[in-house]
Structure 1
């Protein structure tokens, strides 16, 4: 069932529903991905550049959907900076977004909640907090550092579980639990759930001299059993992984009621590493469980990460079996029961209207895309970047499976003189410079030429190029016609490349930049 918010109001043409064949990992950029399902709607939640909270509404766990900023922090104050790991929970008819924030000093991190005024996940929201996550009967004597708060619902009661320091200023992270009076208030003191270094694999460097670190607790309930899957090791390194607790007793506030598993339940491989902080949902038809998590983009220390999605199962004994993290660039069948939009021609979007981007999937760092009055901007240089990286930012039409067509778009270069142009006959798009199969036609104003090339998911091959007849004024209209194996590229209405190639016969169409900042508008598709 399609989310009603995915109505493409700025398009001319019709949309039909058909089963899309695959998803390709990673499905998007980001860290600490939270995904929950409410009815037929999937709601993703992420930090908005460490300064706010964004939600994405999607139709299945293999797609991020379209970003909606629902709350921005004030310019100053105790919750104005370092907004981390938000989670959106639907409780008693309202949405509650739990997140951690501080005043710019990590030692002052505390947990807060946003409460929706109605049933719409997009708000409006009212701020509550901070939660009393510290010592003493009131939890505030003193209040103590807390991040990654989540909610356990059990037998009609609610409990908050989070990662906190054992005392002010220690930088020693443990898992804590406390009863909840309401979704925005605790009703009792915190209880230490477990030690953070029972096993070497829970330690940051996996050695006896390195410190234990537990964070990112997530609830997984199945067949009457309750698990807490938590992240441990070093989030900035390849040692990040998932451990697991199970509630084997009656009282979740009793540490003895929890049993820790002696081995990690999900850890890095040679290809996909630094995995952690995931969440769990079922597929649209309810027949599959899916795990979404982040992984590092580099083996060097740091927090440049992307989001992965893959199915998992349960063993005959009832334990989750997460398997191994999938390899970047690999494709999986779409979540069972999922559908996607199919494009029929003609198709037009000025890319300026509020809902225009709902027709596209974005593959790039979330801080490198904006929508302005003059169209959509790709490759935007953020004013205060957070764990950013360039990756050939691209927008690809959802459900595009075209063979023969004409495409055109108006492009204006804002900063930089590298490629900006059209992707076409694209399949298996993901995050990365050449991480798609298909063709690309682009203009390089710095070289005053237009190029045509193809990618195989990892590598770029130039097929043809032509000098522009005159120096660009900073803007141009780029056109592509694909008919059989004949590929034609034009600039400002003049054909400059005419080339035959049989590599790719069908796929979607999209927009792309390479290490440059350009705006796009007046995007159109028609029959050749």
Structure 2
């Protein structure tokens, strides 16, 4: 379940979050991006992430690796008014009989009216047009509509040639009591029978929101995992807004999925928080590019305070000798791990040029920041865009990083237009291990601060910033500038509008990729150029 908060200031607790495929060959750093309820699926050689940025649309990110969000494609926009115009939650993309079906929940702005819907693709292309169906009959009675009842997190699976839907729903109108339900399907867009309660939501204290007697049970986020003829169902329980969020698991041990007695609940959680990575849940499962490894995508909270500001992690898991999945412990943010087996690491050769004025230019980049704070427009790539209606919004030093770049000496330049704010905007270079966070990358940064009429050069170690040099500069009323950097060995120079303002030496970082970054500022970037010095 997701929630809404107002735009947050710079986090004071820590700067975590997100990294895409490793820039230095065979590792990457978690978490890989901002978001919640991550759904990841594979079709052929392509992976598809499914998310609902701003809770008002459904988007697919297509990529070649489970450690990269890839490029966003908006599949569907919610209408301005109506029963499915607000609070679009937890979309899942399933490929069934030659078509894509994206299941999601939505309401009219009143959470009590949440129901489940599905988008059906016109063709086998995940980017084709979609038709909306629903709502599903997820309520009481033989018709499922007497009355129709609150439903979220619908997923589907096939067993013995029959299709089934499982979701999290209320037991009665207005109770806010979430249980797992299952129903047979007539087709991917319609249920064919009444719902069946799979299990109680408070068999164990760890399933309850506060993990104690007196607090309510809560089951949601069901996900199927099939391996060597066995069918497992993970589910999220505890409180999504708190650190108690975790995964429980059922196994289908009988023949009929519609018989609750056919499902066995495990007495202990299968995936839970650690001291450093907490509020973990709503996972999905895929295999590595070569099919030899299993990978788990899930979200975790950014702080221990109540709320829904989260980011996406991916990590491998295995199956034990007993045939049960072993998810291990959630990896700590900032800890490099090996890329999935069979991953093809992208590479970039120089010279490199990008106008940054259309979506095609973004295929080469990874974005690190809140999904609502980035936009591609006709005039360039906008970082730090503050949305009118931020959902679980937070600032994090938003950045675009060139995937596959690994340069030693370079000369780079970009046009910057400051739209709003007086803080930094500029170029990252010799960067490795980028994550979502103000100083969450290793490398150098050269930026302009219009409010201080200064250009600066500094370095970050993944956690902290160290300033190396600063000089005065004036942008004028248009607040535009051409920023350029040159790095040759230990010598670094920074220029603004063709005039060299900073010359210094530093040997901390010798190589890495290049990126664009803002700090509490909205700026537009275009005409990026990278060459050998």
TM-score (norm 1): 0.96
Residue 154 in structure 1 maps to residue 136 in structure 2: no
Contact 2:165-2:184 within 8 A present in 1 as well: yes
Residue 112 of structure 2 aligns to a residue whose secondary structure is helix
Residue 167 of structure 2 aligns to a residue whose secondary structure is strand
Query: Which whole-Å deviations, capped at 9, do the CAs of 1:466-491 have from their partners, x for residues lacking one?
Result: 11166564010000111111111100
CA separation of 1:319 and 1:310: change in aligned 2, threshold 3 A: same
Pairing 1:223-234 to 2, within 5 Å after superposition: 223-234=228-239
Query: Which whole-Å deviations, capped at 9, do the CAs of 1:342-397 have from their partners, x for residues lacking one?
Result: 11011101100231111100000000001111101000010100000000000000
1:487 aligns to what?
A: 492
Give, in angstroms, the shift of residue 41 of structure 1.
0.4
User: Which stretches of structure 1, 4 residues or longer, exceed 2 Å deviation after superposition?
Assistant: 469-473
Give unmatched runs, 5+ long, in structure 2: 1-22
Which of 90, 98, 122 in structure 1 is aligned with 2:103? 98
Which of 436, 453, 457 in structure 2 is aligned with 1:452? 457
Contact 1:19-1:338 within 8 A present in 2 as well: no
Residue 413 of structure 1 aligns to a residue whose secondary structure is strand
Contact 1:20-1:339 within 8 A present in 2 as well: no
2:391 aligns to what?
A: 386
Take 1:498 and 1:240, find their aligned partners in 2: how far apart are those partners? 50
Take 1:401 and 1:362, find their aligned partners in 2: how far apart are those partners? 17
Pairing 1:186-201 to 2, within 5 Å after superposition: 186-201=191-206
1:276 aligns to what?
A: 281
Residue 343 of structure 1 aligns to a residue whose secondary structure is coil
Take 2:509 and 2:245, find their aligned partners in 1: how far apart are those partners? 38
Residue 221 in structure 1 maps to residue 226 in structure 2: yes
Contact 1:100-1:112 within 8 A present in 2 as well: yes
Which of 52, 59, 62 in structure 2 is aligned with 1:57? 62
Contact 1:448-1:471 within 8 A present in 2 as well: no
Residue 359 of structure 2 aligns to a residue whose secondary structure is coil
Contact 2:450-2:474 within 8 A present in 1 as well: no
Pairing 1:119-158 to 2, within 5 Å after superposition: 119-158=124-163
2:407 aligns to what?
A: 402
Which of 298, 302, 308 in structure 1 is aligned with 2:313? 308
2:245 aligns to what?
A: 240
Query: Which whole-Å deviations, capped at 9, do the CAs of 1:251-306 have from their partners, x for residues lacking one?
Result: 00000000000000000011000000010000000111000000000100000000
Give, in angstroms, the shift of residue 23 of structure 1.
1.2
Take 1:447 and 1:285, find their aligned partners in 2: how far apart are those partners? 51
2:13 aligns to what?
A: none
Which of 351, 355, 372 in structure 2 is aligned with 1:350? 355
TM-score (norm 2): 0.95
Contact 1:35-1:42 within 8 A present in 2 as well: yes
Which of 27, 31, 35 in structure 1 is aligned with 2:36? 31
Residue 137 of structure 1 aligns to a residue whose secondary structure is coil
Take 2:204 and 2:128, find their aligned partners in 1: how far apart are those partners? 42
Residue 451 of structure 2 aligns to a residue whose secondary structure is coil
Give, in angstroms, the shift of residue 142 of structure 1.
0.6
Contact 2:24-2:432 within 8 A present in 1 as well: no
Query: Which whole-Å deviations, capped at 9, do the CAs of 1:98-153 have from their partners, x for residues lacking one?
Result: 00000000000000000000011112100000000001111111100000000121
Contact 2:24-2:512 within 8 A present in 1 as well: no
Contact 1:19-1:340 within 8 A present in 2 as well: no
